[in-house]
Structure 1
Amino acid sequence: MEINQKNSKTLKRPLILASIMLGMFLAAIEATIVATAMPSIVADLGGFSSYSWVFSAYLLTNASTVLIFGKLSDIFGRKPIFIFGIFVFLLGSTLAGFSNSMTMLIICRAVQGIGAGALMPIATTIIGDIYTKEERAKIQGYLSSVWGISAVSGPLLGGFFVDFLSWQYVFWMNIPLGVCALLGIWLFFHENIEKKDHSIDYPGVLWMLIAVTTLMFILVEGGIGIPWSSFQMYMLIGISAVGFILFVRRELTAEDPMMPFGIWKHRMITVANLASLTAGMILIGVSSYLPAFVQGVMGHSATVAGFTLTTMSIGWPIAAVVGGRLLLIIGYRATSMLGGGSLIIGGILFFLLSPDKGPVWAGAGSFFIGVGMGMTNTSFIVGIQNAVGWKMRGIATAANMFMRTAGSAVGAAFLGGLLNGRIQSYLERHGIADNISVDTANRLLDHQASNALSKGTREILQEGLTSGLHLVYTGLLLLAIIIFILICFLPKKGDN
């Protein structure tokens, strides 16, 4: 599918751009707005042990469909795939608002993730179709602003809906925005589709789904629902391992692989992708569990919890702009190291976080994480795109997007497993595990339910949640150190 650059100028590009930005906003805001509302959602629906699955389901289907939707857009055109993505996303959002159980919400989040998998890559592709090479740099600034706006507004909107309306509006607010984006693309974006022979790597998609889905289940249920030393766990580990082996084998021999491993020969791409995988774990760890600490341990409102996430959202776009300028002065490696150092500072602040530190301390840690994310992400994307030619640039960028999303999915499940395991162990050590389970921590996230607990039970639950979240934040610090070590292996100049 191609659009002639001359003809593209006759399109109503400002209206198309606005529609694309609305579509991107839907997918971008989901992480922070849902994270802020999650304590209230769990308090209403129950199922604290499934907390991480609300994020894992969305990220899993998102990561699994990003590459295949990119392929489908080459066959059927950008417009039908983008419209399909918006429709599926709105379907999942509408049903999520009507969820009456954690299981139903998780299923609806998976549907949302499928839609988001079409929105993000196709939006970037459409921009490449209708704007010239000289114009794209300016337009990319507009697209980057979507992430900044969504990151800042997400926690605030989430806190507002929870405190003054209900958590259902976190999902239903997508409906009017999505309809506007859908109509804009439908009415103003026109393309000439050129028929070409393409093959879709269905076996690769299948093996990837089996491997990643099984891994998610292992990390969430390991040590809680399924003992680590059980036959069932060994079977799951075996299935996941075989799935990954068959996926790699398929991608090495496929004519049009979903994940072209040839791009990994560039040291810049290899290091950046591994660091992005790790950064995705940090990002989901902060956005998922910081509200739980502020509300469940510190006892503050959802709005205050949203504030602590907003500081990360403020630091990210500021650092991205500064990092873009630093790249031209000190290079990718030095700029990335500054970002990696900021991640470590944020990790240390979270490691030292305690109930008496207050939300300002939590907000400071969140801010430094945002600065680190902004600088490293900008350096990685620009470095990756400069390391390859034009024909490989789209694939290399999509692979980095996939790695970051996959990291978030693995991080949500892994850190959720750590949290559940530590709380369960704490309850067993205090001899109340028979009467109180991990799910009882739901009550800490609801002020009235928390007050209904006896003083002793409430204190033990808060101490158990504090202990579990401290383990999560210890993991975040270790991940930040790993990213800094990886950055040290970036090439000093260019790619070699």
Structure 2
Amino acid sequence: MQSGDGELSPVVAETEVRRADVGLRSERGPVLLSIMLGVGLVAIDSTILATAVPSIVRDLGGFAQFPWLFSIYLLTAAVSTPIFAKFSDIHGRKPVMLIGVALFVLGSILCGFAWNMTALIVFRGLQGLGAGAIQPTSMTIIGDLYSLAERAKVQGYVASVWAMSAVVGPTLGGVFSDFLTWRWIFFVNVPLGALAAWMLFRHFHEDVNRGRHTIDVAGAVLLTLASTMLIFGLLEGGVLWSWLSPWSIGVLGVGVLLLAAFVGVERKAAEPIVPGWVFRRRLLVGANLTNLAVGVMLIGLTSYVPLYVQDVLGTSALVAGSALAALTIGWPISASLSGRIYLKIGFRNTSLIGSVIAGAGAVLLILLNAGSSVWWVALTCFVIGLGMGLVASPTLVAAQSSVDWSSRGVVTGTSMFARSMGSAVGIAIFGAIANAAIGTQSHGSTSNGVPPAILEPALHQVFVAAALVAVLMLVAVAIMPRRAPGALA
């Protein structure tokens, strides 16, 4: 990455100096392993719980409450991500990552000892806070330690953790539930978290400006409240209340008002949680909108492809999960290869290619019918995964490379927050489409009592919506400039 006169741009020059300094004093191999273990905590937890829900409900009761085991985790992880990301720019990555792992492990221990469903839900929220620190900080550390050419390959390694978790998580969940106790799905996080924390503490070293900083308390509180109301309204719309009910309008309306207040506070804050320039730079706007679309597509695929394979094609849950696993296989493959591509043709062009591939896979989803084979579904998911890997990794690297060390946490956290918001929006959109087509208000359980002849066209409409989101993702990528200061585009 060079400026017109052949020299490194100021942002990149400072970044490379900082990276060299951190890298020389840090043992990158053990640090990367600790990051992968930390991400593994989050990744396995997101897949291991689903298979244990029946056992948990039998033991603790609270069937009507169990969807909150997932909702509260998504909520707390999403709202805390930008706050922890900002703190990592102020206080350093190491303490924030260690705090995240500690919160996640503490939440896991408490979940393992939960005495009823309400307590389990509360402790899952604590786990979500830990995830909100681990996810953005881990990717920021990669940006600190690895060069532009290395970063995509390393992110491919991290993405492979999610791929393995898609297979290992459900298997472990079933084994613990059937042969031990569901409580072990939480206790297993303790040794993994302890090892990750110890390796990071021992091998990762960084220089942090210890000067006086002003903590944007008002901004943090407003962002937390605004995000909570918006995500809560999106998650529960059509579930606890109808979309046009006073409750729905009130919750979402308050969320919008709080968000407006947050914007006003941030304009005057000395060190805002989310600086205004994040929304004024074309590169970052395009990258964040792209991540929003990625979040929407991912939640649609992970929620409705297994449902289609199991209830429309008539297979087992294991086969349905295996078909979806093809998505998590294609993703790390293309993510690890994307570095070679964007160094030659730029971030924007690489992401455009990925968007086209993902869109082609979404079109293949639309072509599914009751006579389709599971192998065809798996191939479709694999193609979409290949496209996603060429979109998600280059856009994140582009965003990180456009700023220096002191802003990389904010940029990374904003990207991941956008993806979390995309997941919440996706749940709302796809759930509303499916429920409207089926003619029931059930959400997240649309297959209960619904014959395949009715379910198949409903899910077909969901897949059409996913294809439209792929088109919007292509538009979002196109917003990114061809060349941007401090980064290839």
Q: Find 2:164's aligned residue among 153, 157, 168.
A: 153
- 1:397 matched to 2:412? The reply is yes
- 1:367 matched to 2:379? The reply is no
Consecutive unaligned residues of structure 2, counting only runs of 5 or more, are 1-16
| Residue 440 (structure 1) shift | 7.5
Conserved 8 A contact 1:53-1:412: no
Opposite residue 159 of structure 1, the aligned amino acid is: P
Conserved 8 A contact 2:25-2:205: no
Once residues 468 and 19 of structure 2 are traced to their aligned partners in structure 1, the CA distance between those partners, rounded to angstroms, is 49
Question: How does 1:286-301 map onto structure 2 within 5 Å?
Answer: 286-301=301-316
Opposite residue 62 of structure 1, the aligned amino acid is: A
Once residues 415 and 103 of structure 1 are traced to their aligned partners in structure 2, the CA distance between those partners, rounded to angstroms, is 27
Question: How does 1:336-485 map onto structure 2 within 5 Å?
Answer: 336-388=351-403, 392-420=407-435, 422-423=437-438, 425-426=439-440, 458=449, 460-463=450-453, 465-485=455-475
Conserved 8 A contact 2:157-2:336: no
Of 179-188 and 59-68, deviating more is 179-188
Compared CA separation, residues 348 and 31, structure 1 to 2 (3 A): farther
Of 462-471 and 86-95, deviating more is 462-471
Conserved 8 A contact 2:149-2:343: no
Of 170-179 and 98-107, deviating more is 98-107
Of 79-88 and 99-108, deviating more is 99-108
Residue 13 of structure 2 corresponds to: none
| Residue 105 (structure 1) shift | 4.9
Compared CA separation, residues 142 and 180, structure 1 to 2 (3 A): same
| Residue 280 (structure 1) shift | 1.0
Compared CA separation, residues 224 and 31, structure 1 to 2 (3 A): closer
Secondary structure, in 3 states, of the residue corresponding to 1:199? Answer: coil
| Residue 197 (structure 1) shift | 1.2
Compared CA separation, residues 142 and 398, structure 1 to 2 (3 A): same
| Residue 205 (structure 1) shift | 2.3
Secondary structure, in 3 states, of the residue corresponding to 2:479? Answer: coil
Opposite residue 488 of structure 1, the aligned amino acid is: A
Q: Find 2:327's aligned residue among 294, 312, 333.
A: 312
| Residue 114 (structure 1) shift | 0.5
**1:331-373 Cα deviation digits (max 9, x unpaired):** 3333222211122122222233344323222212211221111
Once residues 380 and 5 of structure 1 are traced to their aligned partners in structure 2, the CA distance between those partners, rounded to angstroms, is 23
Residue 141 of structure 1 corresponds to: 153
| Residue 239 (structure 1) shift | 0.9
Once residues 150 and 367 of structure 2 are traced to their aligned partners in structure 1, the CA distance between those partners, rounded to angstroms, is 41
Secondary structure, in 3 states, of the residue corresponding to 1:488? Answer: helix
- Percent of pairs with identical residues: 36
Conserved 8 A contact 1:220-1:414: no
Compared CA separation, residues 100 and 466, structure 1 to 2 (3 A): farther
Conserved 8 A contact 1:32-1:309: no
| Residue 315 (structure 1) shift | 1.0
Q: Find 1:211's aligned residue among 206, 223, 226.
A: 226
Aligned residues between the structures = 465
Question: How does 1:21-420 map onto structure 2 within 5 Å?
Answer: 21-34=36-49, 37=51, 53-73=68-88, 76-96=91-111, 105-126=120-141, 131=145, 137-138=149-150, 141-148=153-160, 150-166=161-177, 168=182, 169-189=184-204, 195-388=210-403, 392-420=407-435
Compared CA separation, residues 237 and 103, structure 1 to 2 (3 A): same
Conserved 8 A contact 2:435-2:446: no
Once residues 369 and 110 of structure 2 are traced to their aligned partners in structure 1, the CA distance between those partners, rounded to angstroms, is 37
Over aligned residues, Cα RMSD in angstroms?
3.6
| Residue 479 (structure 1) shift | 0.8
Secondary structure, in 3 states, of the residue corresponding to 1:235? Answer: helix
Secondary structure, in 3 states, of the residue corresponding to 1:166? Answer: helix
TM-score norm. by structure 1 comes to 0.80
**1:408-437 Cα deviation digits (max 9, x unpaired):** 2332344344445554x248xxxxxxxxx7
Conserved 8 A contact 2:364-2:380: yes
Once residues 75 and 484 of structure 1 are traced to their aligned partners in structure 2, the CA distance between those partners, rounded to angstroms, is 34
**1:193-222 Cα deviation digits (max 9, x unpaired):** 653211222222222222222223333333
| Residue 242 (structure 1) shift | 0.8
| Residue 282 (structure 1) shift | 0.7
Compared CA separation, residues 489 and 10, structure 1 to 2 (3 A): closer
Secondary structure, in 3 states, of the residue corresponding to 2:470? Answer: helix
Compared CA separation, residues 366 and 125, structure 1 to 2 (3 A): closer
Once residues 128 and 285 of structure 2 are traced to their aligned partners in structure 1, the CA distance between those partners, rounded to angstroms, is 26
Conserved 8 A contact 1:343-1:371: yes
Consecutive unaligned residues of structure 1, counting only runs of 5 or more, are 428-436, 445-457
Once residues 49 and 367 of structure 1 are traced to their aligned partners in structure 2, the CA distance between those partners, rounded to angstroms, is 35
Opposite residue 26 of structure 1, the aligned amino acid is: L
Once residues 269 and 440 of structure 1 are traced to their aligned partners in structure 2, the CA distance between those partners, rounded to angstroms, is 36
Of 283-292 and 39-48, deviating more is 39-48
Conserved 8 A contact 2:100-2:134: yes
| Residue 482 (structure 1) shift | 1.0
Residue 14 of structure 2 corresponds to: none
Secondary structure, in 3 states, of the residue corresponding to 2:177? Answer: coil
| Residue 12 (structure 1) shift | 5.3
Once residues 237 and 127 of structure 1 are traced to their aligned partners in structure 2, the CA distance between those partners, rounded to angstroms, is 36
